[in-house]
Structure 1
């Protein structure tokens, strides 16, 4: 299909593109102005049917401390991808070596604190003006701010609000070092005894308690999820070991109390993220205080933290049930000739491979050689498949894209790093007919104009990570895929038209995977 572009104007050494196309949306962005080298030209747009097929990672991904910007917890089941369930395993360390809990220390309570991501703009505040603070029976005011956690999945299952029973168990295996690589399917032996649990309704809160007499703060907790733990277990496991060898050093402690697993009982609901660096167990206890005259009294309530952050080994366990799903059928039927539906899923699920057919490459090279064309913009367009993926689940807004077996980013991402270039441009994500454009202008120019060997493009759900200090991307293998729970089904290969140009009268409604190219055609005077 050929559309006439109204003007391509050269100003000095920079090419400025002014576009007027028949459709309301221009297929040209501003990438080509960085790459095109030529004089007066006639602009042309066209599209080609290309190949897409699924690739699988076997539902396994690295989820160790080196890969987890966020931990994940929960479970989510739907009919296309099946069930995905995430548990969290971590070592536990003393906040100080050789801790001393004092004489006759007795645990009052123990709490596991998790800090999930939450919807900060959706707060519900409840105030109790006649609250009695239990420590000292103090007249006080209690203010609780409640927020929903940021979820991927179902807020409701039928008429009921989706929720989980979260369980905490002791790990019986030594978990190794922080730097050890661990996969999401790693099994560990855990105790059958639950040492903490909570019926979680999907909300987190902060609590502020102030003394009525002088308005001083008696308690101020950060927004988080607090899971009550078995105080008898921690009395025996930690407090009663005061000054004994198990508590004298980190090396001893992580071999004595090897860690905990946090999991949910249910198989459906949602998956939420939390900051692994902030997870902690808080121990509240009292001990004997001896005055100078020998009088013995009990202390005020004291706190000691056990850390699950820092240099602790940690990882997510992720399990699946794909039985009878379209996803399972697609993965079983992978063929490089192309597949009609493409399945992308984070946290170890599949991705898609994109191939520009030899026929299309030959056509574009012929245009370059014989008609002196220059590629101005090139993009892969992917549409969501409404026939199978029509729901209210949040659609992903980004993907990672690299050439197969590449150890570096696409040449577009390097050559255009200081421009307005964007790798992924999503459209209509709040609608059924969403689609994505992947910018590959420099990549395609190198194939067509520099005779570079075409390579398959590997497209996975997730985004590239950047340095918090420099803002620069950390590398092609540094992504957030390990903790991105989203999924999407996209339209794949049109088997009857692979490699062919898409006719103009069909392009408006053509939704299969396609290559869209805008190129300049030099005017011979």
Structure 2
């Protein structure tokens, strides 16, 4: 018992001495770190060269979202967006009855709505707010939907039909000169054709007592089409085998062409639309039992090859001059950067053009954060009415791929994703607006890993999660652009990094770093 107690006390004393010794060392080391001040925190501003780059005709087939309508922008000009698409059978080789007769044909394409602003009153009536509508809220247009006579191929003849066939924004004439017959949306209701507008009112089928509840449908393009044409072109074509498969059908029917024009002196606007959600519903009597007069439906989907067709007009002189190749300064940069989607323009950005990268590499800096901030030049905007792009996309232009910082761990939606990487329109403290990109890892790689100092590209984007590319019809100093930039028609004017720009607005690379003393 004595020996056990003795050894226990010895062990306890040793343990206390050991921990006291450790605690003493810890405090000594900690005091050196905190009180020694071996590091300084600072910020370095590196000059940036950025200049304009015009984007002409660009690949625009099979976009997930497409602009449609007429958008008049007082800073850039007018964009008219038409659309062509194939049509497919929901059910191939249908059995329609003995003598089917068309009763009605209705085309529906849903609009994008802001679900967060949908209001339902006590009676169940819903009030909607449309999303992604640009231009005058009261805008109206002449809308014509034609049967297309131009066949949209999936495979191209250039490489002996081994590769995908591309279509481009400037090919509207291929479809406008190949329409079949008169327009299909020939209703007496002018809001379906000559005075069409994007109606924010939804649709409701009233409740029937003890039978059914009310059915609500969100806002959509809803057009009544000519039933005689569909009787002949669709229903009667079953007997000749034109609907036996979708391959046969798409080569026969070819598709639809959507055309917009000015409607008198009415203002205009443009909507972002997903045409692949479109459906043509043909309601017909099957003719099997005339006494019962039973109605049936057949569906055609707007699925297959499709192309967004953009026409630019009334280009504003300042924009035309700034993006003219003879006026672009690739050495010192441009003072105003015009960034516009579609057939528009982008900015080319070059970092460390003054040779300061080599000097930074010798200083042993620890890079904490690096930001590239583009300020909106509101003094060059002709009006505050024109909406600014909600999102820009900065990428590796040399290799046409995202920067390393793009993989920031966040996803979310197509408009709100990649929040750490940035690029969202942000309001500053001085009532100005800016777009900020955090490119910390890109700068670290340039300094610490001798990565290639590539050119960067800045574009408008409709979908920050879409990083695929679209080919230019005619290659210039660039050969392709991000596909999501072709989808969005908006534009903005930014300050460049030239000496004439005020320091608070100048484009600069801000590097926050820690340096050893």
TM-score, with length taken from structure 1: 0.75
> Are 1:397 and 2:393 counterparts?
no
Q: Report if the CA contact (8 A) 1:46-1:518 is conserved.
A: yes
1:164 maps onto 2:141 in alignment: yes
Find out whether 1:386 has 2:378 as its counterpart: yes
- The 5 A counterparts of 1:443-462 are 443-462=442-461
1:115 aligns with 2:110: yes
Which residue number in structure 2 is paired with residue 245 of structure 1? 241
What are the superposed Cα offsets for residues 306-352 of structure 1, whole Å, 9 maximum, x if unpaired? 1112xx11121111115343221111122203111111112232110
1:286–1:298 contact (8 Å) kept in structure 2:
no
Secondary structure of the structure 1 residue equivalent to 2:144: strand
Rounded to whole Å, the distance in 1 between the matches of 2:212 and 2:452 is: 71
- Could you tell me how far apart the structure 2 residues matched to 1:74 and 1:376 are? 46
What runs of 5+ residues in structure 2 fail to find an aligned partner?
A: 1-33, 156-163, 187-191, 411-417, 471-480
Contact 1:82 / 1:320 at 8 angstroms: preserved in 2? yes
Q: Map residues 471-482 of structure 1 onto 2, 5 A cutoff.
A: 479-482=483-486
1:195 and 2:184 are equivalent in the alignment:
yes
Q: Does 1:89 align with 2:66?
A: no
Partners of 1:101 and 1:287 within 8 A in 2: yes
1:492 equivalenced with 2:473 (yes/no): no
Please report how far the alpha carbon of residue 245 of structure 1 lies from its aligned counterpart in structure 2 after TM superposition: 2.0
- CA displacement 1:470-497 (0-9 Å, x = unmatched): xxx7799765223223211101132469
Instruction: Tell me the distance in 2 between the aligned counterparts of 1:336 and 1:439.
Output: 24
- Structure showing the higher strand proportion among its residues: 1
1:32-51 matched pairs, under 5 angstroms? 40-51=38-49
Structure 2 vs 1, CA of residues 41 and 465 (structure 1 numbering), >3 Å: closer, same or farther?
Answer: same
Aligned-pair CA distance for 1:90: 0.7
| Change in CA separation of 1:72 and 1:162 when aligned onto 2, cut-off 3 Å | same
Q: 1:474 to 1:92 in 2, by over 3 A?
A: closer
Q: Distance in 1 between matches of 2:74 and 2:347?
A: 20
TM-score, normalising length from structure 2? 0.76
Mapping of residues 1-20 of structure 1, within 5 Å:
none
Could you tell me how far apart the structure 1 residues matched to 2:208 and 2:428 are? 50
1:52 aligns with 2:50: yes
Matched, 1:375 2:373: no
- Give SS of 2:322's match: helix
1:335 corresponds in structure 2 to: 329
1:185 is the counterpart of 2:170: yes
The structure in which a higher percent of residues are helix is 2
Bigger mean CA offset, 331-340 vs 239-248:
239-248
Q: Does the residue aligned with 2:389 lie in a helix, a strand or coil?
A: coil
2:128 to 132, 142, 147: 147
Change in CA separation of 1:210 and 1:286 when aligned onto 2, cut-off 3 Å: same
Q: Alpha-carbon deviation of 1:122?
A: 4.8
State the secondary structure of the residue aligned to 2:379: coil
Given that 2:369 and 2:511 are in contact with CA atoms closer than 8 Å, whether structure 1 keeps it comes out as yes
Aligned 8 A contact 1:53 1:493 in 2: no
The answer for unaligned runs of 5 or more in structure 1 is: 1-17, 19-38, 129-142, 291-295, 468-472, 498-505
SS of equivalent to 2:115: coil
Compute the displacement of 1:374 (Å).
Answer: 3.0
Distance 1:91 1:425, change over 3 A: closer
The secondary structure found in structure 2 opposite 1:181 is: coil
